[in-house]
Amino acid sequence: MNDAGADGTILTGTVEELIPGESITIDGDTYRLASAANVEPEIDVGRQVQVTVDGGGVVTSVTAVKPPAPPPPPPAREPAPAPEPEPDDEVRMTLIEHLEELRQRLIKSVIALAITTAFSLIFAKQVLEAFRSLLPGEAPLQAFTPTETYVVYFKVSIMCGLAFAMPIIVYQFIAFVVPGLTRQERRWLYFVAPLAGALFVLGLLFAYFVILPFGLPILQGFLSDLVVQQWRLDYYVSFVVRFLIITGLIFETPLVIFFLSKVGVVTPQRLARGRRFAVVVAAAVAAV
């Protein structure tokens, strides 16, 4: 590289040979050193230098070319932000926090039950009439204590209120347990809860519209030539409610069997082997 300057030509190149006080060879070209040439002491073969050559081809100064400054180091990378917890990550809560959340869920459930029970007071009589309509003919229901009608009326109101508040209560329960479940467990819960509710309601409807209208006349007519059956109001209402609930729970059996098969407690082969025993047990229970 040649640059014209005021005092001569400036050359840049690599030193191939250096004879102090005599000559210097740069990139294959040899130049004579002036007697008073300014040669830096660190100049040596292989060094990148810059020389000044006068008009007569004599080198008057030799300076080392400083290597280019190293590139600045890359900026320090900021630490990657911590990943957000997955939905199924465990959420740590203290015992006090668990108890406080449980308290809030229970308060909301009780408030919902109180509201629905108060609302059920309006039509509790219609529910009693619906229960009474299951009996054939005009068979009367009897009250044996002065307060029995009041007790039964409020009992029916509470049961209806519980039925109406059940979706809210179930939601509060699910909201309490979901943070501690994995994603897979949540999917199962969201699948099982609506299905269980639908099966239970189906069992209630089947009991009310099919079993009870068919079974109560049989019970009432049994030994009718010997006994006059006049049922007590409190006992009859409790009997109907228990029968509805039991039938609803029986309709949950397919879901229970499905769950047990998923966890490996029962297998299709075991169910097939126990089929005949199940038929015998079902017949015995039906007879009772």
Query: From residue 187, how far is each of 138, 169, 173, 181, 183 by CA, in Å?
Result: 51, 20, 16, 10, 6
pLDDT at 6: 46
| The CATH number of domain 9-64 is 3.40.50.970 | no
* DSSP SS3 for 89: coil
Question: CATH 2.40.50.320: which residues of the chain?
Answer: 9-64
Task: Encode the chain (288 residues) as per-residue pLDDT tens digits.
Answer: 555 444 567 777 777 777 777 777 777 777 777 776 667 666 777 777 777 777 677 777 777 766 665 677 777 676 666 555 554 445 566 778 878 888 998 999 999 999 999 999 998 899 888 888 888 776 678 888 888 889 999 999 998 898 888 888 888 888 888 777 788 878 887 888 888 888 988 999 999 899 888 888 888 777 767 877 778 889 989 999 999 989 998 998 888 887 777 767 777 777 777 777 766 766 666 555
pLDDT tens for each residue of 186-222: 888 788 888 888 898 899 999 989 988 888 888 877 7
Whole-angstrom distance, CA of residue 7 vs CA of residue 38: 14
| Cβ neighbour number for residue 49 with a 10 Å cutoff | 23
User: Considering only CA atoms, which of 128, 199, 181 is closest in space to residue 157?
Assistant: 128
Overall pTM > 0.85: no
Report whether 236 contacts 157 (CB < 8 A): no
Alpha helix (H) residue ranges in the chain: 95-120, 124-132, 148-177, 183-206, 212-221, 233-250, 253-262, 268-273, 275-287
Average pLDDT, the chain: 78
Whole-angstrom distance, CA of residue 228 vs CA of residue 222: 10
pLDDT tens for each residue of 11-38: 777 777 777 777 777 777 777 777 766 6
| Cβ neighbour number for residue 172 with a 10 Å cutoff | 18
